[in-house]
Amino acid sequence: MKKALVIGAAGFVGSYLIDRIQADCGWQVDATKMAGENFSHRGTAVWDLDILDRGAVTELLDKLRPDYIFHLAAQSSVALSWKEPDLTVDVNIRGTLHVLDAVRGLDYKPRVLLIGSCEEYGRVRPEEVPVSEETLLRPGNLYAVTKACQNMIGKIYADAYGMDIVSVRSFNHVGPNQTPVFVVADFCRQAAEIEAGRREPVMRVGNLSARRDFTDVRDVVRAYVLLMEHGQAGETYNVGSGEAVAIAEILEKIVSLSAAEIRVEVDPAKLRPIDIPVIEADVAKLKACCGWKREIPLETTIRETLEYWRRRIAEESGSDPSRSDPSGSVGKNALICGKNV
């Protein structure tokens, strides 16, 4: 039986990815987490691993000898990268180097999938949208720089050492269980807290005009598995829906799904030092490689994410979520988001 290793499985994507691998591939799955993290998954052996510990990475790979390595471990927040530049550079660049060097030292050639980001494209010009993999990288923040660097290291290792490395640039992925550092989860949590009476009826938002390409995390991990099976070594593939949506539209959808009266206010703390107006994926290369296309509409993802936060807030406060929205999920008070900003 083939063996897959998911490095950094305790984050948002890990469980979804393992579910997909188990459903589609029949591979044995091992996973790693940080020592302080709580993570378990049915049918999966979980190992503690800090990718900054070069020796530990080598030791684990020698022991497990996986055929497929999904490298998810990262400092994945743009916002945190402004506050913790050392950590971001260390984990995303040095940590990746440790993984690739450990793979290089093996006496066989596992396939590695490196997970990059649309942020690598950075200050995309209007004529470059939708963004293909060949677009010049102009990273606009430190997280983006580290992911661009990871991608380049992957390419160098694939070419120089003949390693079997495939890279992706993932556009925004969303869904239940994402940390509210990210925008859809943040808005859904705020809406659920307002419905539950746990905060004043004001949604605090950052830059609403930015347009981003959002894909359900379950569609994203399906692309990862397909690329692991069919991607070309040394190549990079965009993973996204191919359709950018304004943050304002997402906010409007969430507010319209909410049972509560919600006012919208800009919170200066949520405005990033540099923001980029539009990022949208050209996914022709991904489609040509493995026939992937989005299956879950954004509206479904938003609805499920809001439901997730309602359940979570209700669990935290020991109350029944149906009391705040007797109709189920669709609310009555749609609000034009720009209006109150």
Out of 6, 18, 21, 95, the only residue in the binding site for ligand A2R (CB under 6 A) is 95
The rounded radius of gyration (Å) of the Cα atoms in the chain is 20
Question: Is 5 one of the binding residues for ligand A2R (CB under 6 A)?
Answer: no
Question: Is 28 one of the binding residues for ligand A2R (CB under 6 A)?
Answer: no
CA 335 – CA 255 distance, rounded (Å): 7
In angstroms, the Cα distances linking 335 to 210, 237, 253, 265, 270 are 19, 38, 9, 13, 21
CA 327 – CA 268 distance, rounded (Å): 34
Identify whether the C-beta of residue 108 lies closer than 8 Å to the C-beta of residue 67: no
Identify whether the C-beta of residue 214 lies closer than 8 Å to the C-beta of residue 251: no
Question: Is 239 one of the binding residues for ligand A2R (CB under 6 A)?
Answer: no
Please state the closest distance from residue 195 (CB atom) to ligand A2R, in A.
Answer: 26
Please state the closest distance from residue 6 (CB atom) to ligand A2R, in A.
Answer: 10
Please state the closest distance from residue 231 (CB atom) to ligand A2R, in A.
Answer: 16
Please state the closest distance from residue 38 (CB atom) to ligand A2R, in A.
Answer: 10
In angstroms, the Cα distances linking 313 to 12, 55, 183, 218, 326 are 18, 41, 17, 23, 16
Question: Is 8 one of the binding residues for ligand A2R (CB under 6 A)?
Answer: yes
Question: Is 37 one of the binding residues for ligand A2R (CB under 6 A)?
Answer: yes
Question: Is 13 one of the binding residues for ligand A2R (CB under 6 A)?
Answer: yes
Which residues in 46-85 contact ligand A2R (CB under 6 A)?
Answer: 49-52, 72-76
Question: Is 122 one of the binding residues for ligand A2R (CB under 6 A)?
Answer: no
Give the pairing of strands 68-71 and 44-48. Answer: unpaired
Residues lying near ligand A2R in the complex (CB under 6 A): 8, 10-14, 34, 37, 49-52, 72-76, 91, 95, 115, 117, 170
